[in-house]
Amino acid sequence: MVAVSKTVDPERIREAMGLGATLFGENRVQEARGKIPEVGPGATWHLVGHLQRNKAKEAARLFGMIHSVDSTELLVDLDRHAGASKRGLEVLIQVNLAREVSKHGLEESRLPEILQAAERLTWARVVGLMIIPPYNPDPEASRPFFRALAGLAKRVKREHLDRVVLRELSMGMTEDFEVAVEEGATLVRIGRALFGERPVRQAKENS
């Protein structure tokens, strides 16, 4: 479980750690920049929100895994920045299976291109796929997208790529994580169920 801690203050994060949470997800590099040192040791940090290329250097320094890589250029940038600090970085490819204009993520047809690029990298390693399905209060509406992502991962595995090991499926949030687990999720991103409702101005993604 990735406890999505956007807008959550360090004191409440440490309280969650006292209850057994260790893996936290942030949406924004700039928020995580100050928060991670305040929380202190014992937490593992993932970036679950969209990442702009101009934030790649700092993201490679702050996080152990990036869930939201959606372009070859961003993947190459992350590899370069991770290499500069001699620090391995795990990444997930965000796939927009619904082709929603309002959502980030690459189309399925572009996945071979980014996976071929991953084969040539040294420090950033693709270890799975991520999806944010169209919002729907009915969790069953998300099931076809979760199932499709799991099927896509199985097809990629059959290609036996040397440096791509799709062991992770990041899918499912507060309203649909149970369905996601049934369809093979290995990482679920839970925010509201743990920390309560967020300020209205915050986006719903990864809630």
- What the chain holds in terms of domains, given with CATH numbers, is 2-195 (3.20.20.10)
pLDDT of res. 203: 43
- pLDDT tens digits, residue range 96-149? 999 988 889 999 999 999 999 999 999 999 999 999 999 999 999 999 999 999
pLDDT of res. 200: 59
Is 191's pLDDT higher than 80? yes
Per the CB < 8 A criterion, the answer to whether 11 and 17 are in contact is no
| Angle of CA points 137, 138, 141, to nearest 5° | 115
Whole-angstrom distance, CA of residue 99 vs CA of residue 106: 8
If you average pLDDT over residues 41-65, what whole number do you get? 97
Whole-angstrom distance, CA of residue 46 vs CA of residue 117: 22
Q: Would you tell me how many other CB atoms lie within 10 Å of the CB of residue 154? A: 11
Mean pLDDT of the chain: 94
Residues contacting residue 1 through CB under 8 Å, at least 6 positions apart = 21, 23, 187, 188, 190
Per the CB < 8 A criterion, the answer to whether 93 and 113 are in contact is no
Residues contacting residue 122 through CB under 8 Å, at least 6 positions apart = 79, 83
3-state secondary structure 126-157: EEEEECCCCCCCCHHHHHHHHHHHHHHHHHHH
